[in-house]
Amino acid sequence: MTIGSTVVGAAVSVAMDKNEGIIARFRTMAIHRGSILVGHVVGSVMQSLASVLSSAPSASPSASAPPTPPSWNGWPPSA
């Protein structure tokens, strides 16, 4: 799913650049045709990697076990 969203994100970014005219400007410069796509892909991969790494600590198991259903709602009452 992450790979798919990364590919879609890069494709949408390239399409937006093409519609906004930046691709036409780049054609007047001496850069490789694939550099635009490579730049978007690298940026999307870095963004996805940062997202996965930032959510990894929240997915790791905690040191203590989760509370059992009776204890989280205060039942049974302690004496």
Q: What is the pLDDT of residue 14?
A: 82
- Residue 77: band (very low, low, confident or very high) from pLDDT cuts 50, 70, 90: low
Is the model's pTM score more than 0.75? no
- Burial code of 1-40, b = ≥16 C-beta within 10 A, e = fewer? eeeeebeebbeebbeebeeeeeeeeeeeeeeeeeebeeeb
Distances (CA, A) of 67 to 35, 60, 70, 75: 52, 17, 8, 12
User: In this predicted model, which residue has the larger pLDDT, 65 or 24?
Assistant: 24
Q: Tell me: the pLDDT tens digits for 30-66?
A: 888 888 888 888 888 888 888 888 876 666 665 555 6
Upper half-sphere CA count for residue 29 (Cβ side, 13 Å): 10
